Amino acid sequence: MDLDFSSDEQAFRDEVRHFLASELPDAIRDRMYRGDHSHVRNDIQQWQKILHAKGWGAPAWPTAFGGTGWSKTQQYIFENECSLADAPAQLAFGIKMVAPVIMRFGTPEQQQRFLPRILAADDWWCQGYSEPGSGSDLASLKMKAERDGDEYVLNGQKVWNTLGQYADWIFCLVRTDATGKPQKGISFLLIDMKTPGITVRPTRLLDGTFEVNEIWFDNVRVPVADRIGEENQGWTYAKFLLGHERTNIAGIGASKRELQRLKQRAASQPKGDASMLQDPVFATRIAQVEMELRALEITNMRVIFAEARQQAPGPEASMLKIRGTEILQCISELQVDLLGADALVQGGDGGEAARSTSAYLNLRKLSIFGGSNEIQRNIIAHMILGL
């Protein structure tokens, strides 16, 4: 398999790099570099509006819905270059998760109502999947949605909801039938976060940030018209969404960016008459993770080529999720090891040490969210080995 980009693809990469250099606001770039998320909603929305004005707001969407019409390789190049340039990641919950579900399973009215607002960053979306006791075993969720005429009445709780404190809308899996097989009684609802009865409580994480939330639903009324697809068929739509989420979690661009910074810092940090980059033990650790990242990139490209042939990702999505998250965690561990004693005090020197330490603490979540890595290994064993 030829992994070199064609001349057209190289020209496209140059175009993306030029655009990022000229159009990404310096203030946003600086905050992303420093790991400063104090303006996260404004930064992500402002960047999305800039991309939308360029016609690049939805790299993977079909042109019929306002997408770019880019090939899978172009999408890959774009995401990699954005990561390397310290651009904010597009809000995945809208662009990459609920939007494909609406396109595939939503009604024309739902598509016309929601998709343009996602594209223009007019609506901020979040995800309501996990519950207390229902995380990786998502089919065991219990949040009730009882039919009352043209509405559902919701009662229950969602946890580990990312950035829901900023959200205008949430897509939720809810229990509409408690009899029979658990997967057969789940429905997929789109819910306005301003609806009475919704309470959001942010959760403080290891790094001191409030990235995730608990959300309570107390007799929340949701129109039946805001259900995706058929009642009790939400598990089908959830699996479709999770396949996209786990492929995106590979995070090749982010790992490349962080590996580059690790090597730069190691080269400038002295150890005796040399640098840490020349220390045999530390250099070997860097080389190992660099080889693993390259192998992951090759696997990711294989999945991209398969998707281009209309082959939906299967166990490969789980493989990408496992290795992508483990590699980024490994790089963050090396960054903290390089800090030495400075890493013992969260915040460190207020600069690179603060960024690296906070990232290390925050990235412990990677092997859990999106379906824990243990669950992904079960999926691989079942789909490949038949266990």
Residue 311 pLDDT class (50, 70, 90 cuts) = low
Domain boundaries 7-90, corresponding CATH code:
1.10.540.10
- CATH 2.40.110.10 location in the chain: 125-232
The tens digit of pLDDT for each residue in 254-303 reads 999 999 999 999 999 888 888 999 999 999 999 999 999 999 998 888 87
* Residues 249-385, CATH architecture: Up-down Bundle (1.20)
Do residues 119 and 58 lie in contact, with contact meaning Cβ atoms separated by under 8 Å?
Answer: yes
Q: How many C-beta atoms lie closer than 10 Å to residue 269's C-beta? A: 15
Share of the chain above pLDDT 70, in %: 94
Catalogue the active-site residues: 245
The reported pLDDT for the residue numbered 348 is: 43
- CATH 1.10.540.10 location in the chain: 7-90
CATH superfamily of 125-232: Butyryl-CoA Dehydrogenase, subunit A, domain 2 (2.40.110.10)
Do residues 121 and 45 lie in contact, with contact meaning Cβ atoms separated by under 8 Å?
Answer: yes
- Cα–Cα distances (Å) from 324 to 13, 121, 234, 254, in that order, read 23, 28, 28, 10
Task: Report how far Cα 197 is from the mean position of its chain's Cα atoms.
Answer: 28
**What are the residues whose beta carbons fall under 8 Å from the beta carbon of 199, sequence distance 6 or more?**
215, 216, 218
Residue 73 pLDDT class (50, 70, 90 cuts) = confident
pTM for the full predicted model: 0.88
For residue 186, pLDDT beyond 90: yes
Average of per-residue pLDDT across 182-191: 95
For residue 369, pLDDT beyond 50: yes
